[in-house]
């Protein structure tokens, strides 16, 4: 019997007159590696420590291939924000679980030069809709470092609510760090 939901989605939505949100593609590798190099100091405080290959085209091509293959088997779904053909942000559904949970964890970033224009809020709002209507998930979860004020604003603006604090939750920038947990029930 075919499932009622899509395993991976082809998706495209304009977030602004110039920025589009769409599924991640293998051909984004060069632009994505360039975006990560350009945004290294912007993202490092909020991300796991990255290996040198993360900033190279071949490394990104390999990581994208793995993530796209995982999307095809229904384990997650990566999306990119694209402006004039260049990747200017990303948002992903990770650790997608079916069975009685029907949930995924969401993470995102926006190019430093393009922050403060509502892009992350618009992207997260669009991904919530895809998760509910195309992937038919029941719940999305997210976590933020307590001092990541911008990310916490984005989560609240997209309808997430705060669940509480998780000590030593994720290893970020090489250190186990406490996080604030959020979720949004979709149905």
Ligand X SMILES: CC(C)(COP(=O)(O)OP(=O)(O)OC[C@H]1O[C@@H](n2cnc3c(N)ncnc32)[C@H](O)[C@@H]1OP(=O)(O)O)[C@@H](O)C(=O)NCCC(=O)NCCS
Instruction: Provide the binding-site residues for ligand X, judged by CB under 6 A.
Output: 42-43, 46, 108-110, 115-121, 144, 148-151, 153-154, 157
Cβ at position 169, least distance to ligand X in Å:
11
- 49 or 150, CB closer to ligand X? 150
Secondary element (H or E) of residue 141:
strand 139-144
With 0-12 CB in 10 A as exposed, 13-18 as middle and 19+ as buried, what is 47? middle
Cβ at position 84, least distance to ligand X in Å:
17
- 154 or 186, CB closer to ligand X? 154
Cβ at position 186, least distance to ligand X in Å:
19
- 96 or 108, CB closer to ligand X? 108
Cβ at position 104, least distance to ligand X in Å:
15
Contacts (Cβ under 8 Å, ≥6 apart) of 110: 81, 88, 89, 119, 120, 123
- 23 or 44, CB closer to ligand X? 44
- 71 or 120, CB closer to ligand X? 120
The sign of the CA dihedral 64, 66, 68, 70 is negative
Angle at 172 between CA 171 and CA 176, to 5 degrees: 40
Cβ at position 42, least distance to ligand X in Å:
6
Query: H helices within the chain, ranges in order?
Result: 29-38, 40-43, 57-72, 119-133, 149-157
Distance between CA 129 and CA 137 in Å, rounded? 10
């Amino acid at each position: 019997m075919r499932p009622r939901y899509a395993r991976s989605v082809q998706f495209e939505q304009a977030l602004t007159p110039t920025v589009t949100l769409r599924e991640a593609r293998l051909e984004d590798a060069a632009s994505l590696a360039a975006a990560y190099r350009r945004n290294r100091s912007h993202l490092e405080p909020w991300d796991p420590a990255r290996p040198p290959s993360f900033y190279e085209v071949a490394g990104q091509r390999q990581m994208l291939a793995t993530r796209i293959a995982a999307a095809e088997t229904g384990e997650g779904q990566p999306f990119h924000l694209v402006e004039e053909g260049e990747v200017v942000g990303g948002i992903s559904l990770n650790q997608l679980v079916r069975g009685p949970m029907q949930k995924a964890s969401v993470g995102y970033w926006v190019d430093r030069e393009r922050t403060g224009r509502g892009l992350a809020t618009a992207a997260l709002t669009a991904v919530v809709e895809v998760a509910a209507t195309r992937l038919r998930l029941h719940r999305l979860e997210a976590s933020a470092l307590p001092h990541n004020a911008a990310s916490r604003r984005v989560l609240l603006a997209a309808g997430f609510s705060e669940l509480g604090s998780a000590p030593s939750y994720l290893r970020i920038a090489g250190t186990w760090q406490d996080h604030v947990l959020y979720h949004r029930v979709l149905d």
